[in-house]
């Protein structure tokens, strides 16, 4: 995994894009999304197919993947938090949009949610804080959960795995040494 880029939008807001080069993980997630869409189809801000909000919460392969993401974010310092020690998953779900379907602008403001991340399974764009981000297979886009984001009408099928998380910090967070 590598940090592809860090963007500053609506300063001092950071949006971080990583690439996780694990085809086995991506294939597992994509298969699981295709098999489990239905519970929330067309009833949320996702104007397409959607799994249950917590479809991936108990998935050990997903947690392995999130550990890799957390390690890379920590090593890179991309979130600009010295005491960052890991990711606490709050919920994780899959989306499948058919051509012409979209995701309405929204933010994730549930109590305790610090960040939202999206895993991409193909070329796709998202508007975050008014900035358009082009993503490719294996990209993971991470941004503050309170930042408004949306997806315009998909030109072709679009599959993503989204998750909300809280930042875990080391107990010595306030140590100035």
Over range 91-102, report the average pLDDT.
97
Predicted local distance difference test score (pLDDT) of residue 137? 95
* Domain architecture of the chain: domains with CATH: 2-169 (2.60.120.620)
Q: 176 pLDDT exceeds 70?
A: no
SS (H, E, C) 84-153: EEEEEEEEEEEEEECCCCEEEEECCCCCCCCEEEEEECCCEEEEECCEEEEECCCEEEEEECCCCEEECC
Residues paired with 86 in a beta bridge = 168
Over range 10-39, report the average pLDDT.
90
Predicted local distance difference test score (pLDDT) of residue 175? 44
This prediction's pTM: 0.90
CA dist., res. 136 & res. 57, Å (int):
24
CA dist., res. 155 & res. 15, Å (int):
24
DSSP H/E element including 28: helix 23-36
Q: 136 pLDDT exceeds 80?
A: yes
Q: 36 pLDDT exceeds 60?
A: yes
Predicted local distance difference test score (pLDDT) of residue 159? 98
Residues paired with 15 in a beta bridge = 7
Write out pLDDT tens, residues 16-26.
999 988 999 99
Of the segments 64-73, 92-101, 104-113, which one has the largest average pLDDT value? 92-101
Say which residue, 7 or 114, is predicted with more confidence: 114
Q: How confident is the model at residue 10 (pLDDT cuts 50, 70, 90)?
A: low
């Amino acid at each position: 995994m590598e940090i592809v880029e860090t963007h500053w939008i609506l300063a001092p807001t950071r949006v971080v894009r990583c690439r996780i080069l694990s085809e086995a993980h991506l294939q597992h997630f994509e298969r699981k999304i295709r098999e489990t869409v239905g519970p929330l189809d067309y009833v949320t801000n996702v104007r397409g197919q959607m799994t249950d909000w917590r479809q991936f919460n108990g998935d050990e392969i997903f947690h392995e993947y999130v550990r890799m993401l957390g390690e890379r974010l920590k090593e890179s310092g991309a979130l600009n938090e010295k005491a960052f020690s890991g990711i606490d998953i709050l919920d994780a779900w899959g989306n499948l949009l058919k051509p012409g379907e979209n995701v309405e602008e929204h933010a994730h403001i549930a109590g305790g949610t610090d960040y939202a991340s999206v895993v991409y399974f193909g070329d796709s764009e998202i508007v975050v804080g008014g900035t358009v981000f082009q993503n490719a297979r294996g990209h993971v886009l991470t941004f503050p959960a309170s930042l408004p984001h949306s997806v315009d009408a998909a030109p072709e099928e679009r599959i993503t795995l989204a998750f909300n998380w809280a930042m875990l910090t080391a107990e010595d967070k306030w140590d100035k040494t």
